Structure 1
Amino acid sequence: MISIKQFRYFVEIVDAGSYSRAAEKLYIAQSALSRQIKELENEVQALLLTRDARHIELTPAGQVFYERSKRILEDIDETVRQTRHVGQGAQGIIRFLHSSSVTLTPAIGALLHRLLAQFPGVSLDISKDSSENQAADIEEGRADLGLVRLPTLRKHANIIVRELFNEKLVVAVSQQSPLAAQASTSIAALRDQAFVSIPHKDRGGLSYLVAGMCLANGFFPKAARALSRKTTQLHLIEANLGIAIVPDSMRLVAPPGVRFLDLPEEESQSTVALISPRAASGMVAAFADAFVREMVAGDGL
């Protein structure tokens, strides 16, 4: 039976680059460390490491074992952290995702602050993920709640989608662009512009929505020579490498060299939604319900 100690020893050796440095960090004899790895290799029936006097190398089997060992140890550490959190009187941690196109505005931050006051036993672990990937992460237990920008392409039977608010879209351009002199434009007028964000065939979200808007005006967005689906696209725009249609809230995080043009109201609406597991725990379900209730009461913030 492989022990957690052996997982940790193996990862430490790889990260340190040698048995001797790992032994020093682990405060054990190098011979004892070598013995543990030999026992580990006997258990998995595969050679994991090769070494000479100066360095070590992972075998193909060792590479697989190293990557999976790191994930296992991270899961164990997270389990210990959450258990300790509960033992100190808290209820737990909610893993909260948001897409890069759903900016955590001051208003959303204030809402989360109010909710955490209502749920003193809850802590939030917030990270970014694409709108398309969030549902799979939640369905497979890697996350609890997500803020997505519709549409998403895949439907998940075990995921609840609740629309929260509509947000207008604007055109982000470089201050060096001839377009920067305009206060507004239309989708049709962007036909010849290069877009720094175009849709991926397997992803929905903002880029998919924008492509649909362009197609409705008779063209598909032309790709710029540098692309990004993240908020870094704003820096590509600042460098005058292309344009993008983005949510109005992107103004809050845009670099100074980016200008925003209004679009006609009928062309410029997008929807943000909260997704959650259909069989959510009591804590997650209560937090999600309160989030939606606060958002509706605030008229979408």
Structure 2
Amino acid sequence: MISLREIQYFLAIAQEGNITTAAQRLHMAQPPLSRQMKQLEDNLGTKLFERGHRKIQLTEAGRLLRNRAEQLLKLMDTTVKEIRDIDSGAYGTLSIGTASSSGVTILPKVARIFRNHYPDLKFELWEGESIRIIELLNAGLIEIGLVRFSFDTDTYESIELPKEPLVIAIHKDNVGILEEAGDSIPLQKLIDQPLMIHRKYEIIITEHCQQAGFNPYLLCKSDDIMPILAWADANVGLAIVPRAAIGLIPNTNLVFKTISDPCINIASAVIWMRNRHLSAAARHFLTLFTTITQAPSPQS
């Protein structure tokens, strides 16, 4: 039987790579720590360490135990946290992941209102593409994620956000395209134009263009919105991005117009794990998110 103390001692040595340093970290003498690890190896019937002159290396069994030990301690910490914040949510840290420009518009608004209710709560933001946000959610590093593509509804619960139109970012010197009056530009005007897009929008953009009678000239496809905005700002081509991306690059030479006839809308959602405990803070945040996103728009 392995005790929690032995696991903590083992992890300290594995992380420090040195028994002396680990003993100092644990505020204990080195000989008792060495004896504890020898006893642990005897109990398990295998070597956990290869002892060198300066640094201790883990054996294959040691690496396996380290992985399991880290998971176990993380699970214990999470359990203690869940017990303590069942009826609270006013303290701690709420971890949220947001995909690219998804968090630029509605997330700050919700966070501001939320902080007025829970001023002692802190936030931890993770940013990346939707696939990365899903990975962070699955790993338990975040509780809530904002994503822009379809997801497994058996695995995740969600709040659907208002659909958002795609816009075209055009350099101000591109007079030919900017001749179109107003804040929108018909899709037909993009025939033979050098378009720069995020890969995840390739299918929907291509389908709309083909329905309009032409194949789009895709000059550049990217895994991130920022590079194609920078290229558009350098007048390399025209960038197609979500409306929330407007303003991501300050003081640019770009003019943004909404694509029309037809308008190309993209969907996004706030998601969380269906069968995983949510902290009280996360539950409060989602309640507020639902209230804000489902509130009727003011009449003009």
Q: Is the TM value for this pair above 0.5?
A: yes
Provide TM-score, normalisation by structure 1. Answer: 0.68
Taking the aligned partners of 1:241 and 1:57, their CA distance within structure 2 comes to 52
Give the superposition deviation at 1:33. 1.9
Aligned partner of 2:295 in structure 1 is: 297
- Could you say if the C-alpha distance between residues 90 and 45 of structure 1 is closer, same or farther in structure 2, counting changes exceeding 3 Å? farther
Counterpart AA for 1:167: E
Q: SS of the residue aligned with 2:290?
A: helix
> How many residues are paired up?
283
CA contact (8 A) 1:139 1:277 kept: yes
Match of 1:262 in 2: 257
1:102 Cα deviation after fit = 0.8
Contact 1:101–1:246 at 8 Å: present in 2 too?
no
Query: Any idea what SS the aligned residue of 1:253 has?
Result: coil
User: Cα distance, 1:142 vs. partner?
Assistant: 6.6
TM-score normalised to structure 2 length: 0.68
State the match for 2:107 in structure 1: 108
Give the drift of 1:128. 4.0
CA distance in 2, matches of 1:79, 1:122: 19
Q: Which residue of 2 aligns with 1:273?
A: 269
Structure 1 residues 155-174: aligned runs within 5 Å: 155-157=152-154, 159-171=156-168
Partners of 1:65 and 1:241 in 2: CA distance:
53
- Partners of 1:181 and 1:43 in 2: CA distance: 78
- Range with greater deviation from structure 2 (122-131 or 286-295): 122-131
2:3 maps to a residue whose letter is S
Pairing 1:135-174 to 2, within 5 Å after superposition: 144-149=143-148, 151-152=149-150, 154-157=151-154, 159-171=156-168
After superposition, the Cα gap between the structure-2 partners of 1:231 and 1:30, relative to the gap in structure 1 and judged at 3 Å, is farther
Please state how far the C-alpha of 1:164 moved relative to its aligned partner: 2.3
Which runs of no fewer than 5 residues in structure 1 stay unpaired? 199-206
The one-letter code matched in structure 1 to 2:286 is A
Letter of the 2:107 counterpart: I
- AA of the residue aligned to 1:56: I
**Deviates most, 139-148 or 5-14:** 139-148
Q: Measure the CA separation in 1 of the matches of 2:80 and 2:242.
A: 39
How far apart in 2 are the matches of 1:37 and 1:260? 65
Partner of 1:98: 98
Distance 1:237 1:41 in 2: 61
Q: Report the equivalent of 1:202.
A: none
Q: Which structure 2 segments of 5+ residues have no match?
A: 179-183, 210-214
The one-character-per-residue Cα deviations of 1:202-222 (angstroms, maximum 9, x if unpaired) are: xxxxx1x34321244235856
Match status 1:13 vs 2:5: no
> 1:57 & 1:181 partners in 2: Cα distance?
65
Aligned to 1:288: 286
Residues 63 and 84 of structure 1: is their aligned pair in 2 closer, same or farther, counting only changes over 3 Å?
same
Deviation, structure 1 residue 79: 4.0
Closer, same or farther: CA 119–23 of 1 in aligned 2, 3 Å: closer
Change (3 A) 1:141 1:118: same
Asked whether the equivalents of residues 159 and 276 of structure 1 are also in contact (C-alpha less than 8 Å), the reply is: yes
Contact 1:16 1:22 in 2 (8 A): yes
Structure 1 residues 39 and 238, CA, compared in 2 at 3 Å: closer, same or farther? farther
| Contact map agreement 2:194 2:237 (CA 8 A) in 1 | no
RMSD of aligned alpha carbons: 4.5
Cα distance in 1, alignment partners of residues 34 and 235 from structure 2: 56
- Write the letter of the residue equivalent to 1:110: K
Within a 5 Å distance, the mapping from 1:34-53 to structure 2 comes to 34-53=34-53
| Contact 2:232–2:254 (CA under 8 A) maintained in structure 1 | no
Tell me how far 1:282 sits from its aligned partner. Answer: 10
Deviates more, 1:13-22 or 1:77-86: 77-86
